[in-house]
Amino acid sequence: MAAPLTGVKVLEFAGLAPGPFAGVFFADAGAEVLRIDRPVKGQSHTPNSKIPDVTEDLLARHKSSIAVDLKNKAGVALVKELATKADVIIDPFRPGVLERLGLGPDVLQAVNPRIIYARLSGFRRDGKYKDMAGHDINYLAISGVLSVLGRSGEKPTPPWNILADFAGGGLMLAVGVLLALAARQQTGKGQVVEANMVDGASYLASFPRFALKTPLGEHARGQNLLDTGCPYYDTYETSDGGFMAIGPIEPQFFKILVDKLGLGDQGWETRRHDRTQWPALRTALTNAFRSRTRAQWEAVFDGTDACCTPVLGFPEIEAGRATGAREGDLRPAVALRSTPLLAVTDAAKAAGVSEEVRNRRGQGNGVTGEGYVGQAISPGQGGEDVLKRWRGWNKGSEYDVTNGGLVLKGAEKARL
């Protein structure tokens, strides 16, 4: 079965975090992703030399790399020529960088009207902060999202950089490219796709933003139903230092929880919506959970509708990856029944299960580390084979190497 994006050619300018995350999504879906790295003089694309060290990018599985000096006009010419046959360009730089190099959307769409030029920025390209540097915490801050994250009486608390960088940025960019690919089927033309982490994070926060004007979320940060303000939507420590997460919002689920905690004869089912009772309920839940270990509470709640589960750490999930225990066998982000994405865990380990389950796990041999170890590549790794597949090019014929970077032959004298 061909993966859904088989045949799609992606040129990804090297970056960190959100840009590569969009690229690895395409690669996992079967696209051929060719990363453009900075050259390492005397190493990249240089036979019989030391192989360059891998870069810091750990989101490089299923990708290949070429090293190109973008300050060399012959290197720029090579990228421009590759773009004539590419489907997607991923631009992770601050606004204006590729335009100044002569690789902006106007230039590349002139040589390839079908190309989808996907560019990602942190702040809006036309906003107050467009010329400023920033990181995930800053994008969350000005989007309004950070203001609702954190416990009552405490300062706003940013999560890992998954919310703005990866979800609001990289994943939204990937969605935009998929929309543009769908539109190209109708129009025959590509287009510029622009994602920024402020608008992406804000979109993800649509529900809590709407809730600010409803009883669900009208209270201060950390005092609402779904932001740890409510005692039955929170985490609780067990006697061995573990944690259990509970979320029995519905009355029938709440009843199961309190019954199994030994609190079923205290009338909490009728008092749980009374905010004045929440401190007492939190104390009762805290004391109950501290009376047993996490494993003991798991034995009580597994298989029930109490909405009570252990808080698992990645190391213990990883420990069960071979058998699939605790969902430890990592899978593609989404399952396609007929054309599955590429597997993360070795598909051979799915032997003996139904085709439906195998497709959920993805197809192919998986990757080293099975999703628990990042996959890095070095500048130039595997890229010359891609040039052969894409264009039929060979070193010394269509391109050469200058100071570790690929250049298009004859471009030094050509007018670009």
338, 1 contact by CB (below 8 A): yes
Tokens of 269: 């089912």
d(CA 298, CA 245): 11
Q: DSSP code of 246?
A: E
Residues 6 or more apart whose CB falls under 8 angstroms from that of 38 comprise 14, 67, 68, 69, 379, 405
76, 36 contact by CB (below 8 A): no
d(CA 311, CA 396): 57
DSSP of 326-349, one letter per residue?
A: GG-S---SS--SSSPPBPSS-GGG
d(CA 3, CA 171): 19
Q: DSSP code of 153?
A: T
245, 308 contact by CB (below 8 A): yes
- Judged by DSSP in three states, 49 sits in coil
Looking at 37, 136, 165, 329, which residue is catalytic? Answer: 165
CA dist 359 → 313, 330, 365 (Å): 26, 13, 13
Instruction: Identify the bridge partners of residue 90 per DSSP, sorted by sequence position.
Output: 12, 118
Which residue type sits at 199? D
In the annotation, is 302 catalytic? no
d(CA 350, CA 355): 9
CA dist 342 → 26, 339, 350 (Å): 10, 9, 14
d(CA 9, CA 30): 10
Tokens of 252: 């029938």
CB burial of residue 320 (10 Å; 0-12, 13-18, 19+) = middle
d(CA 324, CA 126): 47
Q: Taken in order 116, 117, 121, 125, is the CA torsion positive or negative?
A: negative
Positions marked active-site: 165
